[in-house]
Structure 1
Amino acid sequence: MNVYHCDELAVIFPPGRDLAEKIQEMGMDANDLAARMGYTPKAVNDILQGNVRIVSEVAFLLEMVTNIPSSYWLRRQVSYDEYLIREKVKASLGNQPLWKKSFPAEACARNWIEKAPEGKSKTETTANEVHTLLKFFAVGTPQAWDRYYKDARLKVAFRISLAEVKDPYAMSMWIRRGEILSDEDPMEQQDHKAVRKKLKQHLPEIIDFAAANKILPESAKDITYNTPEADVVDDCMTGLAELCRKIGIRILFVQNFKTAPVHGMYRWYKDVPLIQLHDRFKSREAMWHTFFHELAHVLYHGKKGICLQNVEITHHHPEKEEEANCFAQKCMAEAGFVDG
């Protein structure tokens, strides 16, 4: 399972400090070095003080004078540049306590995100926690998260914005968790027409499987939001995932959040149709109805967009949802569910 955490870098110094130690060892001073490099004493002093970056030309000249490869000086400069930008970012992330608190704390308890290390100050601790969230979402800044999940970029990717969802922070974590699990277990890219054809051929087999798995196991009836297990998947869920994988459809069971009680989602992710379901349905009937509802989207509604069940989004297409409900009811009836 992937976890995301903040990597600590030790405080490092500009490469000029190494250079100062080297020329002292060689019995030289800044003026000698400047003369040997063909630079002014001021230019060399700027290098020694870390006021200017060591570029390729400087690194080459330093190699000639110190007999230390230019690659060493360039690597030291890159390391120092990385240190500076990390410190700059850390300072800005430390000012984001409200953004961090917007996300459900349960994500750490589920091991979706590793607990960030404690910092020397409250600001540093906040920065580490924000960093873990950014790594989880694979975005660079909280502002980038806002643009992707609430504004135009999400609309391009999914054709929806989470700005209208009651808790976009929890919802985005649930969606992202599915992406991470998908990336851990790659599938061959699929053609939509081919998937539809296979799905039509294997639909009776899926319905028969549903008919044989109508009852929720007793051991699963006590599983609630507060149950500590991360993702609870039983033999029925595993069997369904394996059956659909043969068709070219990925099935994931991922626990949702109380503030974002989504039951199911359909989307294409990296050219694979993905049905993501909650893992703690109160009955098998509810699970199967949600599954068949999302399966209808695979069959009828193409690769564009994203469909979220049990979530109010005003610009969803009600006619598609009605078509999916009718399909689900028909499949449920064929599987022998009384109220199908």
Structure 2
Amino acid sequence: MNEKKIELWHVPSPGMELAEKLEEMGLDANDLAARMGYTPKAVNDILQANCRITPDSAIALEMVTEIPAIYWLRRQMSYDEFISRERIKASLSDQSLWKKSFPSEVVVREWVRYDKGDEKSLIPLLKFFAVASPQAWDRYYKDARLKVAFRISLAEVKDPYAASAWIRRGEILADRDPMEKQEQIPVRKCLKAALPEIIAFAAANKALPKRAKNITYTTPEADVVDDCMTGLQEICRKIGIRVLFVQNFKSAPIHGMYRWYKDVPLIQLHDRFEKRATMWFTFFHELAHVLYHGKKGICLQNIEITHNHPEKEDEANCFAQKCMLEAGFEV
């Protein structure tokens, strides 16, 4: 049976339920206090939800009401959760501008999904990024705390909101299809051995499919699924490298990214290159980072961001040009 999501509009405090039980038992607050060994004020605080039911008071209530202590503790936990959620909703209500900073495409593409009548909520967007608040998003993505081998900041990017959505979408897709953790040296050895196969595959896939206006991969509106992309993914997966294709945004036109994500080298590419040659150059550029630069870095292509080691970018460009020539592309 499929479990349905139940939205609780109001959760009564355990004190309200206790008051009903006392009425049923024909007791008042003073009677309960005497039977529990508590002061009348302490019992009234429980009844008015001015204090929480603790394990000790739950056991005392069990003795008097014959209702198990675990029931009272669970009712207290449900009420606490309800109050906390309401407080958090209230704190987020004045931060709608943060939500509007993200491109509307994240909803159109169904990366972020809202229930009917809940379109103004920030909760689905926060869950997409797996952060608890807009402030946490700022600290993680803009204050140089993006978790990679070393910390980077998207603060200098023209549109950090769109860039972070593109990066996060790749993480979500990667989590849906786990790979075994990899070690840097074995991956490099496997990559060197498989490089001729990859270049030959590129040489055999220089042209777009006849019906394709541009490269498209695994998108709902796609008319053509490019088999070249799935083939490239399969070759790289055997090596221990994950390759993902994620549609970018006009305000953050990232062509590619290299990073290690959960101990797996990840190459994330845009899925709609107008030219196959551009896609292959970007791929080989990111592949160079896997081969030469290990875990210590994250690189974003075709977007303004400060690189700590520009010489590594030059090295990756040279590697990509060499591979392109070997595959028969004009460089």
Which residue matches 2:330? Answer: 338
Decide whether aligned partners of structure 1 residues 312 and 277 sit closer, same or farther in structure 2, where only a CA change above 3 A counts: same
What is the TM-score with the length of structure 2 in the denominator?
Answer: 0.94
The answer to whether structure 1 residue 213 and structure 2 residue 205 are counterparts is yes
Give the secondary structure class of the aligned counterpart of 1:313: coil
Structure 1, 149-158 or 101-110: larger mean CA deviation: 149-158
Instruction: Write the letter of the residue equivalent to 2:294.
Output: G
Decide whether aligned partners of structure 1 residues 158 and 234 sit closer, same or farther in structure 2, where only a CA change above 3 A counts: farther
Instruction: Write the letter of the residue equivalent to 1:264.
Output: G
Q: Distance in 1 between matches of 2:92 and 2:116?
A: 14
Q: Distance in 1 between matches of 2:20 and 2:149?
A: 53
Contact 1:174 1:254 in 2 (8 A): yes
Q: Distance in 1 between matches of 2:196 and 2:63?
A: 76
The answer to whether structure 1 residue 274 and structure 2 residue 273 are counterparts is no
Q: Distance in 2 between matches of 1:280 and 1:10?
A: 44
Give the secondary structure class of the aligned counterpart of 1:218: coil
Instruction: Write the letter of the residue equivalent to 1:238.
Output: T
Structure 1, 22-31 or 278-287: larger mean CA deviation: 22-31
Contact 1:231 1:279 in 2 (8 A): no
Which residue matches 1:53? Answer: 52
Decide whether aligned partners of structure 1 residues 68 and 19 sit closer, same or farther in structure 2, where only a CA change above 3 A counts: same
Contact 1:111 1:230 in 2 (8 A): no
Give the secondary structure class of the aligned counterpart of 2:145: helix
Q: Distance in 2 between matches of 1:32 and 1:111?
A: 57
CA-CA distance at 1:316 after TM superposition: 3.6
CA-CA distance at 1:112 after TM superposition: 0.6
Q: Distance in 2 between matches of 1:28 and 1:162?
A: 62
Instruction: Write the letter of the residue equivalent to 1:93.
Output: L
Contact 2:144 2:154 in 1 (8 A): no
Pick aligned residue for 1:309 from 283, 286, 301: 301
Which residue matches 1:171? Answer: 163
Decide whether aligned partners of structure 1 residues 250 and 155 sit closer, same or farther in structure 2, where only a CA change above 3 A counts: closer
Which residue matches 1:186? Answer: 178
CA shift digits 1:216-264 (9 cap, x unpaired) = 113321678xx96389852110010011000000000000000000000
Contact 1:262 1:309 in 2 (8 A): yes
Decide whether aligned partners of structure 1 residues 223 and 205 sit closer, same or farther in structure 2, where only a CA change above 3 A counts: closer
Contact 1:232 1:280 in 2 (8 A): no
Q: Distance in 2 between matches of 1:117 and 1:67?
A: 43
CA shift digits 1:48-69 (9 cap, x unpaired) = 1111000100000011111111
Q: Distance in 2 between matches of 1:175 and 1:199?
A: 24
Matches within 5 A, 1:199-278: 199-221=191-213, 229=221, 233-278=225-270
The answer to whether structure 1 residue 85 and structure 2 residue 84 are counterparts is yes
Pick aligned residue for 1:324 from 277, 291, 316: 316
| Number of corresponding residues | 325
Q: Percent identity?
A: 74
Matches within 5 A, 1:130-145: 130-145=122-137
What is the TM-score with the length of structure 1 in the denominator?
Answer: 0.91
Instruction: Write the letter of the residue equivalent to 1:296.
Output: A
Q: Distance in 1 between matches of 2:47 and 2:193?
A: 72
For the aligned residues, what is the CA RMSD? 1.9
Deviant stretches of 4+, over 6 Å:
none
Q: Distance in 2 between matches of 1:141 and 1:214?
A: 45
Q: Distance in 1 between matches of 2:42 and 2:224?
A: 63
Runs of 5+ unmatched residues, structure 1: 1-5, 120-124
Runs of 5+ unmatched residues, structure 2: none
The answer to whether structure 1 residue 28 and structure 2 residue 27 are counterparts is yes
Q: Distance in 2 between matches of 1:49 and 1:268?
A: 53
CA-CA distance at 1:7 after TM superposition: 7.7
